[in-house]
Amino acid sequence: MGYKLELSEFFSEIYEKGEFPKFKVLINGKWVSTKDSVDLISPVNGEKIAEIGSVSKEQAQEAIDVARKSQNSIRDMAGIDRIEMINKIREEISVHKEEIIKALMLESGKAYSSASGEINALIERMRLSMEDFRKIMGEYLPGDWASDTTQKFALVIREPMGVVLGISPFNYPVFTSISKAVPALLAANSVIIKPPSADPIAFLMVSEIFRKVGVPNGVFQVLTGAGSEIGDFLVSNPGINMVSFTGSTAVGKHISSIAGLKKVHLELGGKAPAIILEDADIDLAARECVKGSLELAGQRCDAVSRILVVEKVKDAFIDAVKRHLSDYKFGDPVADKEVKMGPVISESAAKRIDDMVRDAVKRGAKILAGGKFNKAYYEPTILADVPRDAIIAREETFGPVVTIINVKDENDAINVANDSEYGLDSAVFTNNFYRAWSVMKRIQAGNVTLNAAPSHGTAFFPFGGIKSSGEGKEGIAYSIEEMTAVKTMIFNLSPGGLGKVYTGKFK
Ligand code: NAD
């Protein structure tokens, strides 16, 4: 079907008009055109809907220079004014919400429920950020605890990092970009966001709201372009003080190798196991595992992508999974708002998923439902008896495949769960409190959920991985903390005849 991207007058400055809208980049408070651009192909119908600007190195350097020069304009703003600025942006996003959701669905292929879920979550996260920001105060440390500081005390304060570069992935292009921009601004940093090339339009629309609400020029800038070209230039640039990256483990490793001595916060890939023990509520476990595997067509870092089911309940679990698969209406999400699962991001992503499914089948796995694709539309799929050495049992799937691996018992499940390079998210299903506690303690992951699929909504609870899944935490207050540097200010009281005199005596 021929879909056209049409934006209201409010957003008219963010693109050049033509056969297809050609999106600009935001530098120093102005939308500017780029010489080069890349086509944006909608996964909904496989057709071009827009052109996305590819920023040049000169433009990127200008943005960095401006960000450095402008930082004082946010630093000098009272904290309460920063809060009110974010509040106004939040209110304005709510006014334009439906238009932003529509663009997000067309550029990313998200179902209405997923696209509106993303925008609602970021609105709520902005509200919570304003609350959590008030808690970041620093601390007073008396010196009389240590023999060499009895005449001193210290104030430990948090200062902005300077210029924060936020890089975000295609699966939550708006939410992840906001999760970096808002804490960076609240903590008085300048921020440059590089959204994903595949689907940046909804975030560019939100960025226009930042600009129109009046975030000081140069403090909030947005650059688009291929990560492999402009990304390296930005990440390795000495004018950037901190990189906050969300994306694949491969790119995350590359970024940490070229960033040099700047702070790098990494939110990377995952391979979340869900352990189903014999005393679990099987229907609940199946419903949650189907949701965890199929929501957003499985394109989530926290997607359930290895279901480890103990032999005793395997058959009952598979029957329940088959029943719940039909909860996910599959099709064109733009044509039908009831659709819960649309295409994956591109035809090449669907092909990659299919290669993983075929590899598993070759090694002995059985397809119980789905297993076919047409262009970017990969069917909701159930894959059972998946061998532990299959590629789909070890690498990130990022597709709608309910992947079931048989395990003997609880210990076997833990061993398989922990035998992974990833450690982002996980789930355990059991009705026995003591087993739940024991498994949750032994699982190697940054997050573990009992009796539900991982789901992070506003991400109020801190979120982040261990092993190859990342470094640092993104939660609301946690993100603000990540984007500040601790400074210890030590006061010597002895010239005033104050402080304690150390005697070292005790009996
Ligand atoms: P990706 O790593 O391909 O790209 C992420 C971003 O990095 C994009 O904006 C891209 O343009 C940019 N980029 C690419 N090469 C770069 C370079 N050399 N320098 C700087 N930037 C560069 O990831 P993706 O395919 O967009 O997203 C999916 C991945 O993101 C999955 O692995 C998923 O698990 C992960 N993810 C993790 C989390 C988390 O919180 N841990 C959340 C969402 C997604």
Please write the tens of the pLDDT for every residue from 15-30.
999 999 999 999 999 9
**Percent of the chain at pLDDT above 90?**
93
**Percent of the chain at pLDDT above 70?**
100
**Is the model more confident about 345 or about 327?**
345
- The residue type found at 436 is A
In 35-137, where do the E strands start and end? Answer: 36-41, 48-54
Q: What is the mean pLDDT of residues 380-397?
A: 98
Nearest CA residue ID for atom 10, ligand 1: 227
* 195 Cα–ligand 1 center, Å: 10
The domain limits of the chain are 9-268+471-486, 272-450
* 487 Cα–ligand 1 center, Å: 31
Alpha-carbon distance of 441 to 427, in angstroms, equals 12
Q: Is the pLDDT of residue 132 over 90?
A: no
3-state secondary structure 348-413: HHHHHHHHHHHHHHHCCCEEEECCCEECCEECCEEEECCCCCCHHHHCCCCCCEEEEEEECCHHHH
**C-alpha angle 82-85-86 in degrees, rounded to nearest 5:** 90
At 320, list the tokens. Answer: 């329940």
pLDDT band at 211 (very low <50, low <70, confident <90, very high): very high
Query: Distances in Å between the alpha carbon of 428 and those of 321, 323, 436?
Result: 16, 21, 7
Closest CA to 306 of 362, 368, 389, 369: 389
- Scanning the structure block, which residue is given the tokens 């940054």? 446
pLDDT score for 459: 86
Q: What is the mean pLDDT of residues 137-161?
A: 94
Fold of 9-268+471-486: Aldehyde Dehydrogenase; Chain A, domain 1 (3.40.605)
pLDDT score for 395: 98
pLDDT score for 1: 66
Give the position, in ligand 1's atom list, of the atom nearest the Cα of 226. Answer: 11
Helix (H/G/I), strand (E/B), else coil: 419: coil
pLDDT score for 8: 98
Which one of the listed residues 267, 288, 396, 410 is annotated catalytic?
267
Pocket-testing residue among 193, 243, 244, 248, ligand 1, by greatest number of atoms within 8 A of Cβ = 248
* 118 Cα–ligand 1 center, Å: 17
Pocket-testing residue among 125, 167, 474, ligand 1, by greatest number of atoms within 8 A of Cβ = 167
Q: What is the mean pLDDT of residues 471-486?
A: 92
- The residue type found at 420 is S
Residues with CB under 6 A from ligand 1: 167-172, 194, 196-197, 227-228, 231-232, 235, 246-248, 251, 254-255, 267-270, 301, 396, 424, 465, 470
267 as an active site residue: the answer is yes
Alpha-carbon distance of 62 to 58, in angstroms, equals 6
- How far, in whole angstroms, is CA 174 from its chain's centroid? 9
Pocket-testing residue among 178, 251, 256, 268, ligand 1, by greatest number of atoms within 8 A of Cβ = 251
pLDDT score for 350: 98
pLDDT band at 48 (very low <50, low <70, confident <90, very high): very high
Fold of 272-450: Aldehyde Dehydrogenase; Chain A, domain 2 (3.40.309)
Q: Contact, 348 vs 299, CB < 8 A?
A: no
Which one of the listed residues 301, 347, 481, 482 is annotated catalytic?
301
- How far, in whole angstroms, is CA 337 from its chain's centroid? 25
* DSSP-assigned letter for residue 18: S
Give the position, in ligand 1's atom list, of the atom nearest the Cα of 194. Answer: 9
Give the position, in ligand 1's atom list, of the atom nearest the Cα of 469. Answer: 41
Nearest CA residue ID for atom 16, ligand 1: 227
Alpha-carbon distance of 425 to 435, in angstroms, equals 18
Listed in sequence order, the residues at least 6 apart from 301 whose beta carbon sits closer than 8 Å to its beta carbon are 171, 267, 268, 269, 270, 424, 425, 469
Q: Is the pLDDT of residue 286 over 70?
A: yes
Torsion of CA 179, 183, 184, 188, to 10 degrees: 160
Task: Tell me the pLDDT of the chain averaged across its residues.
Answer: 96
Alpha-carbon distance of 91 to 462, in angstroms, equals 25
301 as an active site residue: the answer is yes
Q: What is the pLDDT of residues 421-448, one digit of tens each?
A: 999 999 999 999 999 999 999 999 999 9
- How far, in whole angstroms, is CA 444 from its chain's centroid? 20
Q: What is the mean pLDDT of residues 328-337?
A: 96
Q: Is the pLDDT of residue 229 over 90?
A: no
**Is the model more confident about 388 or about 506?**
388
